[in-house]
Amino acid sequence: MSLTNVEADPERIRLHFSPGTRAVRVRWLLEEIGVPYHLHVVSLWRGAHKSKDYLKIHPLGKVPALEIDNTIVFESLGICLYLADRFADAGLAPLVTDRARRASYSTWMAFSAGTLEPAIFEQVRAKKAEERGIASVGLGPALTPFNNVASYMELHLAEQPSLLGDRMTAADIMNGSLMAWAQDIGLLEARPSIQAWVANLKSRSAYARAMQSTGWGWKS
Ligand SMILES: N[C@@H](CCC(=O)N[C@@H](CS)C(=O)NCC(=O)O)C(=O)O
């Protein structure tokens, strides 16, 4: 890998992060790439994400946000797309010239935030409504139900170890972090292929490093 320009200055990449949030997927990708970065823990509990200074970084006051190359990227999907292409030598995104794999990669990257994430949130919303004894109003055809999404992924992953075939990409990180959450909230029963894929992703040392405790950012 030719990362010498960045290695010379670890402050060059700064991830605004809070544990247990969508920022974990970005930290995981940075760990897979192996590039030095500075982690700034933003305390959501103390409202640090709504401070005047932080709103200059993320105008909506959310995590994650990434400072890199003298600019700022936010939206976890946007950050992962940027990083995977920026550090192409890490092999976590097919090159645009690799047309078929790139098409599949684009599909799965968009699938994560556009289809899988809303489907999981819908489940969470329905569960909360049930717990409170109130009726949950479905969004109808605007949303793909989680069962459909999971059935599709189950079939896909029964045939290959990673979303694009043999080799793991940023698409596995985006979708895998979401399915790890789905697993935690009990949505993956009777989905053996997805479970095996998630277990394999979670066994990676980069994932373990991304999950390492940072504290909750009380002092941020
Ligand atoms: N679509 C955005 C969502 C960002 C987001 O909502 N982050 C949550 C944590 S997972 C957050 O910062 N919430 C704090 C708040 O909105 O007050 C992304 O993927 O980056």
pLDDT tens-digit readout, 156-210: 999 999 999 999 999 999 999 999 999 999 999 999 999 999 999 999 999 999 9
Q: Indicate if 196 and 142 belong to the same structural domain.
A: yes
Count of structural domains, the chain: 2
The residue type found at 48 is: A
* pLDDT mean across residues, the chain: 93
Q: List the CATH number of the domain containing 128.
A: 1.20.1050.10
Q: Encoding tokens for residue 192?
A: 């053996």
pLDDT at site 78 = 98
21 CB within 6 A, ligand 1: yes
Q: Among the residues of the chain, which ranges form H helices?
A: 4-7, 23-33, 52-57, 76-86, 99-111, 117-131, 146-158, 170-184, 192-202, 205-210
Mean pLDDT of 12-25: 97
- The pTM of this model reads 0.93
22 CB within 6 A, ligand 1: yes
What is the extent of the structural domain holding 53?
4-92
Q: List the CATH number of the domain containing 13.
A: 3.40.30.10
Domain boundary (74, 92, 110) is at: 92
Residue 212 belongs to some domain of the structure = no
For 54-113, what is each residue's pLDDT tens digit?
999 999 999 999 999 999 999 999 999 999 999 999 999 999 999 999 999 999 999 999
Question: Ligand 1 test: best mutation among 16, 17, 22, most atoms within 8 Å of CB?
Answer: 22
Question: Ligand 1 test: best mutation among 21, 45, 62, most atoms within 8 Å of CB?
Answer: 62
For residue 59, report the distance from its CA to the centre of ligand 1, in Å: 12
> Measured in whole angstroms, how far is the alpha carbon of residue 116 from the centre of its chain?
11
16 CB within 6 A, ligand 1: no
